[in-house]
């Protein structure tokens, strides 16, 4: 493919300024080591297999942290000219202010919702919100909870998350202390409404007109859309 000289010159000039200024010598050294390895092994092309063989060779002498560092520097020199260019541009980028202020849920919004929203419609949403506040976990992680993951110890409630993003078991505690909306009381009200035949289902069930239905709640139920609609924000 024929590339005009003007384009080549522009790319060359831009590429020269892409590597981090303070560590450009290290990047160039790692790239030179890679080219040296290529020459010693009569390798002309650059493919994923070639890079894998190079990193495998380095693994005989360097730790995992060093391998990641070396790979990152070689990769920056090989394939990421455009990405590096955009990152450097981003350092100087000042985003335009939004024409309208961002509408997000605040602590006051959440407290207002839990204290004032009618339970016959919003009890499940309140419980999910409480679990989100005390646990600070992802929606899908909370949805994976079962009744066996919740232990009510009267003064507080212990929740065990067995399916987290990091594949580790995590726990958090819910307590009424210092809370105006008494989260433990709200959870117990919801738990008492769960049908007895639903023990094998997830913790959060479909909730309609003040009653729990023996059907797992969907992921959209955990979102904040319904809260924003209720609070007109």
Regarding whether 123 and 77 lie in a shared domain, the answer is: no
Domain assignment of residue 96, yes or no? no
Domain assignment of residue 184, yes or no? yes
Regarding whether 135 and 34 lie in a shared domain, the answer is: no
Domain assignment of residue 44, yes or no? yes
Residues 6+ apart with CB under 8 A from 70: 30, 55, 58, 62
* pTM summary value: 0.53
| pLDDT digits 0-9 by tens, 46-103 | 787 888 899 899 998 888 878 888 877 787 776 555 445 555 555 555 655 555 555 5
CB contact at 8 A, 144 and 162: yes
The pLDDT-based confidence of 31 (bands split at 50, 70, 90) is confident
The pLDDT-based confidence of 118 (bands split at 50, 70, 90) is very high
Regarding whether 118 and 25 lie in a shared domain, the answer is: no
Highest mean pLDDT among 82-86, 104-108, 125-129, 162-166: 125-129
Domain boundary among 65, 90, 115: 90
Regarding whether 86 and 45 lie in a shared domain, the answer is: yes
CATH number of the domain at 208, please. 1.10.443.10
The pLDDT-based confidence of 233 (bands split at 50, 70, 90) is very low
Candidate from 142-146, 161-165, 225-229 with smallest mean pLDDT: 225-229
Model pLDDT, residue 49:
84
Regarding whether 69 and 176 lie in a shared domain, the answer is: no
CA–CA dist 56, 62 (Å, integer) = 10
Q: Is the predicted pLDDT of residue 111 greater than 50, yes or no?
A: yes
Domain boundary among 56, 90, 124: 90
Cβ neighbours, 10 Å, residue 127 = 22
Regarding whether 77 and 112 lie in a shared domain, the answer is: no
Q: Which of 136, 137, 148, 152 is nearest to 202 (CA)?
A: 148
Regarding whether 108 and 65 lie in a shared domain, the answer is: no
The pLDDT-based confidence of 151 (bands split at 50, 70, 90) is very high
CA–CA dist 96, 99 (Å, integer) = 9
| pLDDT digits 0-9 by tens, 167-197 | 678 888 999 988 888 999 999 999 999 987 7
Half-sphere exposure of 18 (CA within 13 A, CB side): 23
Question: Which structural domain, as residue segments, surrounds residue 117?
Answer: 101-229
Is residue 213 packed enough to be buried (19+ CB in 10 Å), middle (13-18) or exposed (0-12)? middle
Domain boundary among 28, 60, 90: 90
CB contact at 8 A, 223 and 105: no
Number of domains in the chain: 2
The position carrying tokens 């339970």 is: 119
């Amino acid at each position: 493919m024929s590339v005009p000289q003007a384009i080549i010159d522009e790319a060359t000039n831009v590429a020269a300024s892409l590597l981090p200024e303070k560590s450009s010598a290290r990047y160039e050294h790692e790239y030179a080591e890679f080219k040296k390895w290529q020459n010693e092994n009569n390798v002309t092309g650059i493919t994923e297999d070639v890079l894998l063989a190079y990193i495998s060779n380095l693994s005989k002498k360097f730790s995992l942290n060093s391998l990641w560092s070396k790979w990152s520097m070689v990769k920056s020199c090989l394939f990421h000219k455009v990405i590096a260019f955009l990152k450097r541009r981003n350092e100087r980028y000042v985003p335009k202010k939004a024409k309208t202020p961002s509408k997000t849920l605040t602590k006051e919004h959440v407290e207002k919702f839990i204290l004032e929203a009618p339970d016959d419609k919003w009890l499940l949403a309140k419980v999910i919100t409480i679990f989100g506040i005390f646990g600070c976990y992802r929606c899908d992680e909370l949805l994976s909870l079962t009744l066996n993951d919740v232990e009510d110890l009267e003064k507080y409630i212990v929740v065990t998350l067995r399916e987290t993003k990091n594949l580790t078991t995590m726990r958090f505690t819910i307590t009424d202390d210092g809370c105006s909306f008494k989260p433990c009381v709200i959870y117990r009200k919801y738990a008492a409404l769960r049908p007895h035949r639903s023990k094998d289902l997830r913790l959060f069930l479909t909730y309609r007109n003040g009653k729990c239905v023996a059907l797992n709640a969907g992921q959209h139920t955990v979102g904040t859309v319904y809260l924003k609609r209720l609070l007109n924000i």
